[in-house]
Amino acid sequence: KNQVEQSPQSLIILEGKNCTLQCNYTVSPFSNLRWYKQDTGRGPVSLTIMTFSENTKSNGRYTATLDADTKQSSLHITASQLSDSASYICVVSAANDYKLSFGAGTTVTVRA
Amino acid sequence: ETGVTQTPRHLVMGMTNKKSLKCEQHLGHNAMYWYKQSAKKPLELMFVYSLEERVENNSVPSRFSPECPNSSHLFLHLHTLQPEDSALYLCASSQDLASYEQYFGPGTRLTVT
């Protein structure tokens, strides 16, 4: 069964600090991995997408990494801002399957 | 904005009520999806439509009834719901089923009393 596990479930950081979120998956055969940001009361919005051959992808202060051998990904947030407070969801696609596998998300709270 | 809109944004209904959720996408996509999002749980796929044909009915109780009159609109009709059905219901669309990029609407926060 395709599964996506995220850790931690939630975290609190001070504004300006960095943090790293983790995602482990068992989806096979692997196609791509996305990180979504979901603000409170909003739908998820894609931050990054990585395929098998990519191991790093950046979007502003967000940097995602992928290790396809160990089936792990991370999302690093640099110099956090209050607007980074949101839920971050790891989503993995299997080849030839339109169904996505979702993690439960990590809730990030940035405090001034 | 993602190009996917949902109405209403919030809905409170009793267990004997009948209501409908509406989703509209302005992206020219051919596939549309309904998801249920409960607190601290992964999104659960409920229904999938491709070119207005239902291709997935993920063991969803019959008290949820989808309708896709055209490729731009998707409805979720609700009747005799249970309190455990309270959740955020998200609509999404993609260019087609082969496209992994799904665009999500803002969701409808449903509370069943």
Instruction: Please give the average per-residue pLDDT across B109-113, as a whole number.
Output: 95
B101: pLDDT confidence band, cut at 50, 70 and 90? Answer: confident
Cβ-contact B47, B68 below 8 angstroms: no
Mean pLDDT, to the nearest integer, of A69-85? 97
Q: Which residue has the tokens 């998707």?
A: B74
Answer whether A11's CB lies under 8 Å from A108's CB. yes
Per-residue confidence (pLDDT) for residue B55, from 0 to 100: 87
Cβ–Cβ under 8 Å, residues B56 and B92: no
pLDDT in tens, B28-87: 999 999 999 999 899 999 999 998 888 887 789 999 999 999 999 999 999 999 999 999
- The whole-angstrom distance between B90's CA and the closest CA on chain A is 7
Q: Which residue has tokens 């249920």?
A: B36
pLDDT at residue A41, rounded to an integer: 85
| Strand partners of residue A51 | A32
Across the interface, of B43, B92, B100, the residue whose CB is closest to A93 is B100
Query: Which chain A positions have a beta carbon within 8 Å of B2's beta carbon?
Result: 43, 45
Are B94 and B28 in contact, with CB atoms under 8 Å apart?
A: no
Compute the C-alpha angle A111/A38/B98, nearest 5°.
155
Contact check, Cβ <8 Å, A43/B31:
no
- Chain A CB within 8 Å of residue B40 CB: yes
Cβ neighbours, 10 Å, residue A32: 19
Q: What is the pLDDT of residue A20?
A: 98
Instruction: For residue range A50-71, list pLDDT tens digits in order.
Output: 998 899 999 999 999 999 999 9
In chain B, what residues touch A45 (CB-CB under 8 Å)?
2, 104
Which pLDDT score is estimated for B99? 78
Residues of chain B contacting residue A31, judged by C-beta atoms under 8 Å apart = 100
The string of pLDDT tens digits covering residues A7-57 is: 999 999 999 999 999 999 999 899 999 999 999 989 999 999 999 889 999
- Residue A96 pLDDT > 90, yes or no? no
Q: In this complex, do A100 and B45 lie within 8 Å of one another by their Cβ atoms?
A: yes
pLDDT value at A72 more than 80: yes
The encoded tokens of residue B8 equal 């209403």
Reported as half-sphere exposure (CB side, CA atoms, 13 A), residue B13 has a value of: 23
Joined together, the tokens standing for residue A46 give 């894609």
Chain A: nearest CA to B4, how far in angstroms?
10
Query: Which of A9, A32, A102 has its CB closest to that of B43?
Result: A102
Q: Are B74 and B32 in contact (CB under 8 A)?
A: yes
For residue A42, the distance in angstroms to the closest alpha carbon of chain B comes to: 4
